[in-house]
A and B are shown apart, each in its own frame.
Chain A
């Protein structure tokens, strides 16, 4: 029945998609970006439902921007990735500065829960109909109505002293919340230090005997406010260094995503040689990260021999990185427009790298296939911490975590960047959704990466290393995506004047992946909690890329509000 018109027909390409989206608002196509503004009233949730659940795209993240100095409004951009159409749909909502409220999309896409709350904390735009409209990142004693990412908030403002806080709190009496324990279960706190990886995070597990009935996560204890520093103080080329320091494990992928975002925004073409070198370093980083994860996983499974072996191998891959870049982990190679001169990979280096890689591969294959077929490893990981495909979609999980739940996704393959445009990338996908599947996916990725580096090294073209970046136009939007070891890494930028960014927001994959942990914990044994949490390879410093403490989450339930919201 085609009588009901164009709405029933699936658009075939981005142009048809653009026309199709006219039902919801005003679309504007600029290269890979499909901006959708002036959303018709009452149509936002239908639109989101359409993009996320029907068109085969997925919700990636949301960004709040204080654009009052530019056009007088606050903007909220919801980013949807539609790989099939080769576009990012940016749903652009504007909020009036006097009464900044927009409609929440979390009821339709639970994955948006945190991103919307982050915007409430930092920009002060409220989301109507959000199921948990509480603070996510700012500490409980942060004064109301102070929004650090607004443009009129100075970056060098000293954190309020305790006296000042006490006064501000007295004046504004922010509400404090306490989570309600579900029934009469025992609460087991895990954290804030090292339940899984040695970073601050805090899980509250509600148990009945040995079974976990519910779980909550609190995080953002290592938020460092780097977005503000970057927007206020750093030049384009300085930001790539702070971007690299978002994370101690997947740093280079962050700086690459950042550089790509600016390059996209400014229309800079990166020379091929630089693209190859970026890809080579990215793969080295992936191998390093997966080695590290495997070691941690074996350790948590009580198999410390495996842990020692993996971390010994990890030393070798860091030696390799050090030979290539002068540092074990902070490669420091990226600048906007390419790669720095000293980081060139000449033939003698290439030969050395290949030799070292071969050794690592041989050593790895001596052990790992034996270890992952051990009965005790299988018993503890098969059928444990299962995330179904539909749950994986619900939380927009990414990377190996998604691929282990049957979702075919990989930025390298479906939105190729750097040198992945020129080579074929194999991506393992498994349907089981358990910890074992996550382990196998990473195992295969390690081997694929080693192979990929060899192919890249053989084909490095002879071009310059960086492009001219003297002109970067103002007020351009750019998105840079990379496939970090843990999944899609997304950096959003708006260019500004004086060689500075107007807005920069990095979103690490753990931000999405963590939301799925409570779902995986429910119904499992307490003893398995550490390995379940660790199985997503959580990286808390990435996720907490921006300032401080205390969130209640885990599950959509009304939280009891204690205290008064006074004054206004």
Chain B
């Protein structure tokens, strides 16, 4: 008897399968999908690279072209959203895009290239032009000069100032 009841219940229910992919499917507003970097906002600071647990985000400095590359490989991404949390500029965001099958491996990469900034004293590249601009803009006038130096040069210069000030 119960067997019949289960069947009747099923009949009453009708079709439950979705028309997807022939019709779009509803996606919740919070869905964590493919992360995308906004190349206009990214300053190449590398905060997201440090936060990313599976190394889906990597960073590479190329001295020849004087460029820094932030590389996002979706193939390794676990959609955790750590990058989004870490980014100080709101440049990397998880979208609601989830249809990520690709024909080529290359399609799974996003590369953002930024010009490297060289230390005016020693000439070593240590950050990106965009980042140094933002840092300098955020600082009070008197601290700006020191901020444009690489950490090593800054240290020796400020050490010099300090010893000067003490006298």
* A residues apposed to B, CB below 8 Å: 234, 238, 241-242, 245, 305-306, 309, 312, 319, 322-327, 330, 332, 340, 342, 366-367, 370-371, 373-374
Contacts and interface: CB of A to CB of B under 8 A. Distances in A.
Interface string B52-94: 0110000000000000000000000011111001000000000
A134 to B, nearest CB: 34
B79 A371 contact: no
A374 B3 CA distance: 7
Given A241-B78, A312-B16, A327-B32, 14 more contacts: A234-B53, A238-B53, A241-B82, A245-B78, A305-B6, A306-B6, A319-B28, A322-B28, A323-B28, A325-B30, A327-B31, A330-B79, A340-B81, A370-B6
Residue among B3, B28, B32, B79 having the largest count of chain A Cβ atoms under 10 Å = B28
B101 interface: no
A340 B32 contact: no
B158 interface: no
Contacts of B16: 312
Given A326-B32, A373-B2, A366 B9 contact: yes
Contacts of B5: 370
Contact of B2 (A234, A241, A326, A371): A371
A374 B7 contact: no
Given A305-B6, A309-B10, A371-B6, A241 B30 contact: no
Contacts of A371: 2, 6
A180 to B, nearest CB: 44
A326 B30 contact: yes
Contacts of A234: 53
B7 A332 contact: no
Nearest to A374: B2
A305 B32 CA distance: 33
B3 to A, nearest CB: 6
27 contacts: A234-B53, A241-B78, A241-B82, A242-B53, A242-B54, A305-B7, A306-B6, A309-B6, A319-B28, A322-B30, A323-B28, A324-B30, A325-B30, A327-B31, A330-B78, A330-B79, A330-B80, A332-B32, A332-B79, A340-B85, A342-B30, A342-B81, A370-B6, A371-B2, A371-B6, A374-B2, A374-B3
A368 to B, nearest CB: 10
B117 to A, nearest CB: 28
A189 B108 CA distance: 41
A342 B93 CA distance: 13
A370 B6 CA distance: 7
Contacts of B3: 374
Interface of B: 2-3, 5-7, 9-10, 16, 28, 30-32, 53-54, 78-82, 85
Nearest to A340: B85
Contacts of B2: 370-371, 373-374
Nearest to A342: B81
A212 to B, nearest CB: 30
Contacts of B80: 241, 330, 332
A342 B32 CA distance: 11
A501 B50 CA distance: 17
A323 B30 contact: yes
Contact of B53 (A241, A325, A340, A374): A241
Nearest to B17: A312
B81 A305 contact: no
A238 B82 CA distance: 9
Contacts of A342: 30, 81
Contact of A305 (B10, B30, B78): B10
Nearest to B53: A238
Residue among A309, A319, A326, A366 having the largest count of chain B Cβ atoms under 10 Å = A326
Nearest to A320: B28
B31 A322 contact: yes
A340 B86 CA distance: 12
A325 B9 CA distance: 32
B12 to A, nearest CB: 10
5 cross-chain pairs, A with B, having the tightest CB-CB distances, nearest first: A238-B53, A326-B32, A326-B30, A370-B2, A241-B53
A370 B7 CA distance: 11
Contacts of A323: 28, 30
B6 A327 contact: no
Contacts of A242: 53-54
A323 B28 CA distance: 6
B7 to A, nearest CB: 7
B53 A332 contact: no
Nearest to A239: B53
Contacts of A327: 31-32, 79
A371 B79 CA distance: 38
Contacts of B82: 238, 241
A241 B81 CA distance: 11
B97 to A, nearest CB: 13
Contact of A367 (B6, B28, B79): B6
Contacts of B32: 326-327, 332
Contacts of A326: 28, 30-32, 79, 81
Nearest to A366: B9
A245 B30 CA distance: 20
Contacts of A306: 6
A319 B16 CA distance: 14
A371 B80 CA distance: 39
A332 B6 contact: no
A242 B76 CA distance: 13
B80 to A, nearest CB: 5
Contacts of B54: 241-242
A325 B7 CA distance: 34
Contacts of A330: 78-80
A556 B25 CA distance: 53
Nearest to A242: B53
Nearest to A341: B85
A306 B32 CA distance: 32
Contacts of B78: 241, 245, 330, 332
A242 B53 CA distance: 8
A475 to B, nearest CB: 24
B146 to A, nearest CB: 27
Contacts of A340: 81, 85
A327 B28 CA distance: 9
